[in-house]
Structure 1
Amino acid sequence: MRILAIGEPLVEFTARSDAPSTFDRRLGGDTLNTAIYLARLMGPGAVGYLTGLGDDAMSRWLIAEAEAEEVGMAQVVLRPGGRPGLSFISTDAAGERSFLYWREHAPFRSLFCDAGQAPLAALEQAGTLFLSAITLAVLQEDGRARLMDALARRRKAGARIVFDTNYRPALWPNAKTAGRVIARAAGIATLVLPSMDDMGGCFGTAAPAEAMALLMRLTEAEIVLTTGGAAVLRRAAGETEVQAHALPPAVAARDTTGAGDSFNAAYLAARLAGLAPHPAILAAARLAAVVVQHPGAIIPRHAMPGDLPGLRVAS
């Protein structure tokens, strides 16, 4: 296992565009979405997932579906009587989403508080650890602190820590608390993957240059900022220069669910495969452009683009 993703998976119900009162059941959750795309791009045995689930039918279904995607689920901690979180997603005519969640009692929330040392020990099993701000938002405060301390230790020991700043206001008591936690995680990370939506929503930054300047004060890590426009901004670790990487023209989006998750997966997989930053960004943008043309976060395997340079693409 090269990469261990950490987070809360969801059983996702997505409204059909042709029948809005009918919902399809799918895997969901930002870090699980990224883990699935990483597994498709890196192959069997490369990616594991650390989470907490229950012993119910929905949890068993979720584990089986993730394993069918070649995501290792051996690190999952099962809590008797637990139930996974649920999300219901509706999409408007422009492909933008609205969410309803039932996740307050999901087992992942207390994972690092009441499951002994097993979850923290699992962090030793991979050289690259991936998490998001949603991972941190849904954890109980004590568990969040334990995870952050463990990540800092792994960073000092030479592990890569990859952090997606995925900001969901409804999961935090306020933006100030979220900003404090995100700032600490960014400071621990070796690669930070923010978006302008995250930075504007949490920190109030209005322009990419302003967001990048703030991020550079928070962390020495590599930063790859998606702007929602024609370019991605990147700062190499420890450097002061910011480079703009031009993207191909945007495509019309059917559903933006999973766009950022797939971008992150392709960029990380490409960099781990030895690609330079610019082709890695282009590969990430290419995958995200395909994902937004399909409903739901996870596109069919046969729809995976075969023209991602330097990457294995499962079909």
Structure 2
Amino acid sequence: MRYLCIGEPLVEFTARRDAPSTFDRRAGGDTLNSAIYLARLSPPGSVGYLSRLGDDAMSIWLRNVMTTEGISDLCSTEAGGRPGLSFISTDARGERSFLYWREQAPARRMFLNGGDARDAVANAGTVLLSGITLAILEPESREQLFRALEQRSGAGGRIVLDTNYRPALWPDVATAQAVIGRAASLASLILPSLDDLAGCFGATDPAAAMNALTSLGGAEIALTTGGGEVMYRPPGQDAIQTYPLPPMVAAVDTTGAGDSFNAGWLVARDAGLPPDRAVALAAQLASVVVTHPGAVIPRDAMPDLGLRISA
């Protein structure tokens, strides 16, 4: 399998802008959003999703979404479990606010007694996880994930980390720094945002953010600064390059912007494109995503990025 995404699938209820008391149901969660866009940009059978769900109607619905999107469902089942829920509202600029119910979600235990989960990691070409993936796992399950990542990295697999820092999911900043830092030291590619690194590591400007990451290892880094550029460091090098982003568009909902950017970047790079073209195409996809409500746009709204990768 080319891409394995690991995380927590959520049932998201998004308030309509024209009727704030009415909510639309969608599948969500950062790595599931990325998995959907990866599947749309890749040949059939390229993408799998690893998590743990329940046996209730919402879990079955999430599995059906994955199947419909061409994602291999690698989620184990916890009897009596129910997936996490989120309620999302947006302001006039498309910026989001969230309410979550996820404390008992089965995804927190996806690696407990999880030989199948470890096998899925061992057989993946690229493993994508996020700071949220790391945050929601119970400590024992998180340690099992790290062991699987260490083995995969040692065997030549590519580990991709989206830093995605959510303070409310961590007991304290020190724990987040230690766990995300450990994952970054194993990663082949890190896809951070400046907001993430400011919140977690206190790196409030792009140069400090790059320094914080480069101190953790020699990974390839593509840092979105929240402005008009992406800062890029090739793997194992010190030189940092800066690539401009296209002009910003008027956003309806920024949910999924980073998740879609990550997918576009990965597929563009795997198609053999240089970093500047990967930035441009990933940003093109993200700029379409933010003009629609919710993280996942309709299939017929997908831009043709002209990307072709082998199965």
Distance across 1 between alignment mates of 2:221 and 2:4: 20
The residue number in structure 1 matching 2:108 is 109
- 1:118-150 per-residue CA deviation (whole Å, 9 max, x = no partner) reads 211111221111100100100001111110121
The residue number in structure 1 matching 2:191 is 193
The residue number in structure 2 matching 1:143 is 141
Shift of 1:116: 3.5
TM-score, normalised via structure 2 length: 0.97
The residue number in structure 1 matching 2:94 is 95
Whether 1:232 and 2:223 are equivalent positions in the alignment is no
Cα pair 1:15 1:22 within 8 Å, conserved: yes
Give the gaps of 5 or more residues in structure 1. none
The residue number in structure 2 matching 1:54 is 54
TM-score, normalised via structure 1 length: 0.96
Whether 1:19 and 2:27 are equivalent positions in the alignment is no
RMSD between aligned alpha carbons?
1.0
Whether 1:129 and 2:99 are equivalent positions in the alignment is no
Q: Secondary structure at the match of 1:209?
A: helix
What is the aligned length? 309
Shift of 1:273: 1.5
Q: Secondary structure at the match of 2:133?
A: helix
Matches within 5 A, 1:3-42: 3-42=3-42
Question: What amino acid is aligned across from residue 260 of structure 2 in structure 1?
Answer: S
- 1:176-203 per-residue CA deviation (whole Å, 9 max, x = no partner) reads 1111111110000000000011011111
Distance across 2 between alignment mates of 1:261 and 1:33: 6
Distance across 1 between alignment mates of 2:296 and 2:246: 22
Cα pair 1:90 1:98 within 8 Å, conserved: yes
Distance across 1 between alignment mates of 2:229 and 2:78: 44
The residue number in structure 2 matching 1:77 is 76
Distance across 1 between alignment mates of 2:101 and 2:237: 42
Distance across 2 between alignment mates of 1:76 and 1:90: 28
The residue number in structure 2 matching 1:297 is 295
Cα pair 1:283 1:309 within 8 Å, conserved: no
The residue number in structure 1 matching 2:259 is 261
Whether 1:277 and 2:275 are equivalent positions in the alignment is yes
- 1:152-196 per-residue CA deviation (whole Å, 9 max, x = no partner) reads 110010000000000001100111111111111000000000001
Shift of 1:311: 4.2
Cα pair 2:267 2:307 within 8 Å, conserved: no
Shift of 1:310: 2.6
Question: What amino acid is aligned across from residue 269 of structure 1 in structure 2?
Answer: V
Q: Secondary structure at the match of 2:236?
A: coil
Shift of 1:43: 2.5
Question: What amino acid is aligned across from residue 8 of structure 2 in structure 1?
Answer: E
The residue number in structure 1 matching 2:151 is 153
Distance across 2 between alignment mates of 1:234 and 1:16: 37
Q: Secondary structure at the match of 1:21?
A: coil
Shift of 1:249: 1.0
Distance across 1 between alignment mates of 2:200 and 2:124: 30
Distance across 2 between alignment mates of 1:311 and 1:41: 8
Question: What amino acid is aligned across from residue 94 of structure 1 in structure 2?
Answer: R
The residue number in structure 2 matching 1:209 is 207
Q: Secondary structure at the match of 2:156?
A: coil
- 1:1-52 per-residue CA deviation (whole Å, 9 max, x = no partner) reads 2111011100000000000000000000000000000000003100000010
Distance across 1 between alignment mates of 2:97 and 2:307: 35
How many percent of aligned residue pairs carry the same amino acid? 61
Distance across 1 between alignment mates of 2:203 and 2:238: 19
